[in-house]
Amino acid sequence: MPDLLLRNVRIVPISPRADAPAGIVDVLVVDGVVSAVGEGLSRPVGVEAYDAGGRWLVPGLWDAHTHLAQWTLGASRLDLRGTRSPAEALALVAAAARQVEPGEAIIGMGHSAGTWDRWGTVAELDSVTGGVPAILVNHDFHHAWLNTAALDAVELPRRDDMVEEMEWFEAYPRVAELFETTGSTPAAYRRMLTRTAALGVVGMTDFEVGVRLYDWRTRWEAGCDLLRIRVATYADQLDDPIAEGLCTGDPLLPGDDRLTMGPLKIISDGSLGTRTAWCCDPYADDPDSCGAPNQSPDELRGLLGKAYAAGLEVSTHAIGDRAVSEALAAYAETGARGRIEHAQLVRREDLQMMARLGITASVQPAHILDDREMTEGLWPGREDRCFATRWMLDAGVPIVLGSDAPVAPLDPWLAIAAAVGRSRDGRQPWHPEQALTVQEALVASVNGQPTVGVGSLGDLAVLDIDPLRASVADLAAIARGGVVLTTVGGRVVHRS
């Protein structure tokens, strides 16, 4: 890792216990770790200096819960919503064509050609894409604008107009294949990681289903090594890390601490929306159903015990209060450690046990905004126990924040703003008595680094504003250009 001298920063004391210098200082990162903090540090020979001009320095942010293949796939679409003419769409396609790597296609979506003054032609699309296949799917899904390379790739006759209705529906599976290929290339991951670094993110836990450790190793070596990644495993692949003797936290590639073994993920119940989250009380619209567990008590204990014996932490998805309670009992009996993912509905007495066991709550605050109506409809009278982050902190349960991308956008500032504001579109905050302070939400987003100081990792983000003095709206806005520099182990991964 290259060394770095940050000049003129104000260090934000994320944790109330952190002692950060009051004025403007310099920060030196050597071998991936902060080695000096002070006024007017001298620049070692050959070390790059970055002048932050008095901006605010925080430890880099983490997203504790992502599904990166799904997120990358979605993010690899070209968003054509709001285009008002073929010319506007073509301009966006032309820009995308300049970033495409060999073997990729351009998949555009969201435009409404019916609102344009005319439809575009294949020749026009060819003129900005050359030989790169391009497929622009109209928002109603009833037609698509394909260039000649795409028509050839999915074996449709050449033409100069759209592919419509039955012909399009029949061709779509072949298009989808092209889309999947494009959305999972190393280049697609690199673009996603670059965009994520621009939010001040330095690391993520990847809970993608069906990913093998090998996938990330090859991807990493193909240049997708921008941010720290913890790769989770599922029960069906648990024997892979065990066979290699990998414990949670171990590097997946020797000598690189940025790509590491994550936890075992267990999905112990369902979700609120599908009425499968396992609850102590029935769903309001179905008095016979409390949801259901996905494993028998013995199966759950078997998995936790196996992971514990192998040195792996366990992240147990539990959304309903019964699932949370049963998962905690299984942790207690097996000695396993780790997290409860979601913990969306809890009983207050269970939080005492959770704190005693040292189990972390991995919470996705943007879901507070998404699930408000559904919760009032399906779990009436239980809203005060949903996303109960205040009770968690009061009980001594550690919290980490995440997005569950692509369920919510991979944006820690959205998560922080939702944890603090618990509202969207100017509505009254939803159960504000459970809200976190900005400081608490930041503590839950920086992977346990209380502030930046000597000995802390060179995982840093320089912000345009002081987050501790920001309003909820200003916090959310940091995602739109408010991060001027991001470093991982002192290596610059974003600079605006």
* Selection from 388, 297, 363 nearest residue 334 by Cα: 297
- Segment contacting Zn ion (CB under 5 A): 217-225, 354-362, 403-411, 416-424? 403-411
φ and ψ of 37, to 5 deg = -135, 130
Residue 182's region, left for phi above 0, alpha for psi from -120 to 50, else beta, is alpha
Q: Does 63 bind Zn ion (CB under 5 A)?
A: no
Q: Does 459 bind Zn ion (CB under 5 A)?
A: no
Nearer to Zn ion, 339 or 372 (CB): 339
Q: Residue 267 CB, nearest distance to Zn ion (Å)?
A: 8
Q: Does 269 bind Zn ion (CB under 5 A)?
A: no
The number of beta carbons lying within 10 Å of the beta carbon of residue 495 is 13
Is the CB of residue 494 less than 8 Å from the CB of residue 469? no
- Segment contacting Zn ion (CB under 5 A): 113-121, 323-331, 402-410, 444-452? 402-410
Spatial separation of the C-alpha atoms in residues 316 and 304, rounded to whole Å: 9
**Number of residue whose CB is nearest Zn ion:** 404
Q: Residue 433 CB, nearest distance to Zn ion (Å)?
A: 27
Q: Does 104 bind Zn ion (CB under 5 A)?
A: no
Write out the two tokens for 315. Answer: 């992240």
Write out the two tokens for 274. Answer: 């599908």
Q: Does 3 bind Zn ion (CB under 5 A)?
A: no
Nearer to Zn ion, 123 or 209 (CB): 209
Contacts with 142 (C-beta within 8 Å, 6 or more apart), sequence order = 164, 165, 168
- Segment contacting Zn ion (CB under 5 A): 146-154, 158-166, 326-334, 404-412? 404-412
Is the CB of residue 237 less than 8 Å from the CB of residue 312? no
Tokens 């065990």 belong to which residue?
A: 242
- Structural element, H or E, at residue 278: none
Q: Residue 207 CB, nearest distance to Zn ion (Å)?
A: 5
Write out the two tokens for 82. Answer: 């709001």
Helices (H) and strands (E) in the chain, counts: 17, 20
- Segment contacting Zn ion (CB under 5 A): 197-205, 344-352, 398-406, 420-428? 398-406
- Segment contacting Zn ion (CB under 5 A): 40-48, 263-271, 328-336, 399-407? 399-407
Q: Does 404 bind Zn ion (CB under 5 A)?
A: yes
Q: Residue 404 CB, nearest distance to Zn ion (Å)?
A: 4
Terminal alpha carbon distance of the chain: 20
Nearer to Zn ion, 260 or 316 (CB): 316
Nearer to Zn ion, 206 or 225 (CB): 206
Nearer to Zn ion, 404 or 440 (CB): 404
Which residues would be at the binding site for Zn ion (CB under 5 A)?
404
